[in-house]
Amino acid sequence: MLSGWFGGAGPGLLSVLLSALGFYYHCLPPTYTFAAEPDQGARFLAFVVSSLFVGFFSAAQRRATESLRQTRDDLRETVKKVEQTNESLTRSEAYLAEAQTLSHTGSFGWNISSGELFWSEETFRIFECDRTVKPTPELALQRIHPEDVRMVQQTTEGISSNGGDFDLEHRLLMPNGSVKTVRFVGHSIEDPAGGSSFLGALRP
């Protein structure tokens, strides 16, 4: 069993063979000879089979233990790499947010089919919306100056149907009554499901 555990199947099989010879020579009457009595054959066979079973079981258990240990080590390495990637992404997001703040440039994404809208931190500041508010197309339209709403709708409808880039300047009407002119640039992309999305940037 120890040979199979520490050495594997080969040393375990050799150990069984040597043990079988020792058992045959020392334990089967007449002892100290390889001329055992015929009725001792079943006893010898039982010893060999049980020894083989224990040896191969020990070898298989060792392989399984080694495999689990290797899997554990691989998992730890994968977790470490994921953590490093997450740290890198977090730093990149922080750098991007700081760069947008310094340049007063926001970014946005809009999935036309689902209606899902993404705003960066600077975009929230430009629209003067609370960060806890979920951005929606309806919220964006509420901020657009009433005289520019139709123009914006026509532009987005055209890009949604035909694709391409866009460069649009219009006004925002803030809650305090002030007017802010912003410029939107970006382009439309087709997602894997066949729908359209807008990706772009804006700056006052």
What is the pLDDT, as a whole number, of residue 4?
A: 46
- Please give the residue that has the higher pLDDT: either 109 or 193: 109
Nearest Cα neighbor of 188 from 200, 175, 180, 174 is 200
pLDDT of 54 higher than 70: no
Question: What would the mean pLDDT of 115-124 be, rounded to a whole number?
Answer: 90
- Residue 67 amino acid letter: S
* Strand partners for 198: 110, 188
C-alpha to C-alpha distance for 129 and 145, rounded to whole angstroms: 16
What is the percent of the chain where pLDDT is above 90?
A: 23
Whole-model pTM? 0.54
Task: Pick the range with the lowest mean pLDDT from 43-52, 80-89, 128-137.
Answer: 43-52
Instruction: Report how many helices (DSSP H) and strands (DSSP E) the chain contains, helices first.
Output: 6, 5
Write down the residue that tokens 């499901």 correspond to: 193
Instruction: Label residue 96 by pLDDT band (50, 70, 90).
Output: low
